Amino acid sequence: MRLTLLSPGEMNESQRQTYDESIAGKRGKPPAPMMAWLNSPEMARHATRLGEVLRFDTIFPAKLSEIAILVTARHWTARYEWYAHKRLALQGGMDPKIIDAIRDRRTPDFDDPKAKMIYDVAKSLHEGHGVEKGLYDEAVKLLGERGVVEVIGLCGYYTLVSMTLNTFEFGLPEGEVPELA
């Protein structure tokens, strides 16, 4: 870990307010990257709020939103992010074969057309730096404009998360082995 994370007792007033707001939210605890973001308390506050919306208040159930998150974690080889969201994807009902395929950089077999579309849009965003017209039109038809906006939001936010975790070298919990090479 490249950064010393502050304990609540070491935080200034602005940092402590952001920390307290995060533990009072739907997560019940501060998200790992927020502990680094506290070096910029206003950024931490806004990023954590955005993360809570994207995690809990999109139109997608967890097993769908986690597709975009796992594609992002895999794209960035964000080991901590993968570790955290693989568990959430499984809890949300995602088929382990889909998770394994994303990990191995293979295109998963999807039964749900919305799941496939989220995967295709997320891959396009990361690998193609956007979404070409045909895919965009299909995505709007299947997911709606709000759904497309939320997939973009998930990929963008979790890119910030992945960059933070990778840059500051957040380690996995004791005894956990990284799955991403």
Phi and psi (nearest 5°) for 5? -85, 140
Residues 121, 33: one domain?
A: no
Expressed as residue numbers, the domain containing 145 is 62-168
Cα-to-chain-centroid distance, residue 172: 16
Per-residue pLDDT of the chain (181 residues; tens, 9 = 90+): 898 889 999 999 999 999 999 888 888 888 889 999 999 999 999 999 999 999 999 999 999 999 999 999 999 999 999 999 999 999 999 999 999 999 999 999 999 999 999 999 999 999 999 999 999 999 999 999 999 999 999 999 999 999 999 999 999 999 999 999 8
Query: Residue 10, SS3?
Result: helix
Phi and psi (nearest 5°) for 40? -130, 85
Residues 20, 82: one domain?
A: no
Residues 68, 44: one domain?
A: no
Give dist(CA 161, CA 131) in Å, integer. 22
pLDDT at 1: 85
Residues 149, 67: one domain?
A: yes
Residues 136, 83: one domain?
A: yes
What CATH number is associated with residue 97?
1.20.1290.10
In a domain, 53, yes or no: yes
Give dist(CA 70, CA 123) in Å, integer. 10
CA 94 to each of CA 56, 82, 83, 165: distance values in angstroms, whole numbers, following the listed order: 16, 14, 15, 24
pLDDT at 26: 83
pLDDT at 98: 98
Domain count, the chain: 2
Residues 68, 143: one domain?
A: yes
In a domain, 2, yes or no: no
Residues 127, 48: one domain?
A: no
Q: pTM for the full model?
A: 0.94
Residues 49, 66: one domain?
A: no
In a domain, 38, yes or no: yes
pLDDT at 167: 97
Residues 103, 153: one domain?
A: yes
Residues 52, 110: one domain?
A: no
